[in-house]
Amino acid sequence: MNQRGLSLLETLLAISITAVIGVAISALMAAAANSLSSKDDGRSTAIRLATTNIRLGAYIAPSLCVLDKSNNHITLWFEDSRTSNTVHASEIRWITFDSGTKTLSVKFVDFPANWSQSMVDEADFECNSLTDYASVLSSFESSEYITTVPLVDSIETCNFWLNQVNSVEATRVSVRFSLASEFGVTKDSMIDESIRLHVTPIQ
What would the pLDDT profile of 160-190 be if each residue is shown by its tens digit?
999 999 999 999 999 999 888 776 777 788 8
Partner residues linked to 156 by β-bridges: none
> What's the pLDDT band for 3 if we cut at 50, 70, 90?
very low
Mean local confidence (pLDDT), 124-142: 95
Mean local confidence (pLDDT), 123-150: 95
What is the DSSP secondary-structure string of 58-76?
Answer: HHHTT-SEEEEE-SSEEEE
Partner residues linked to 107 by β-bridges: 94, 148
Residue 197: is its pLDDT beyond 50? yes
The pairs formed by 161-165 with CB atoms below 8 angstroms and a separation of 24 or more are 162/66, 162/69
- Out of 30-34, 92-96, 169-173, 185-189, pick the least confident: 30-34
Rg (the chain; Cα; Å): 28
Mean local confidence (pLDDT), 15-27: 60
Residue 37 CA: distances (Å) to CA of 32, 41, 52, 71: 9, 6, 22, 34
Partner residues linked to 108 by β-bridges: 147
Residue 2: is its pLDDT beyond 70? no
**What's the CA gap between 79 and 77, in Å, rounded?**
6
Q: Is 102 left (phi over 0), alpha (psi -120 to 50) or beta?
A: left
User: Which helix H or strand E contains 108, and what residues bound it?
Assistant: strand 103-109
| Total-model pTM | 0.77
Three-state helix/strand/coil letters over 140-198: HHHCCCEEEEEEECCEEEEEEEECCCCHHHCCEEEEEEEEEECCEECCCEEEEEECCCC
- With 0-12 CB in 10 A as exposed, 13-18 as middle and 19+ as buried, what is 160? buried
Q: If DSSP codes are grouped into helix, strand and coil, which group holds residue 89?
A: helix
> Taking all residues of the chain, what is their mean pLDDT, rounded to a whole number?
84
Residue 126: is its pLDDT beyond 80? yes
What is the end-to-end Cα distance of the chain in Å, rounded? 109
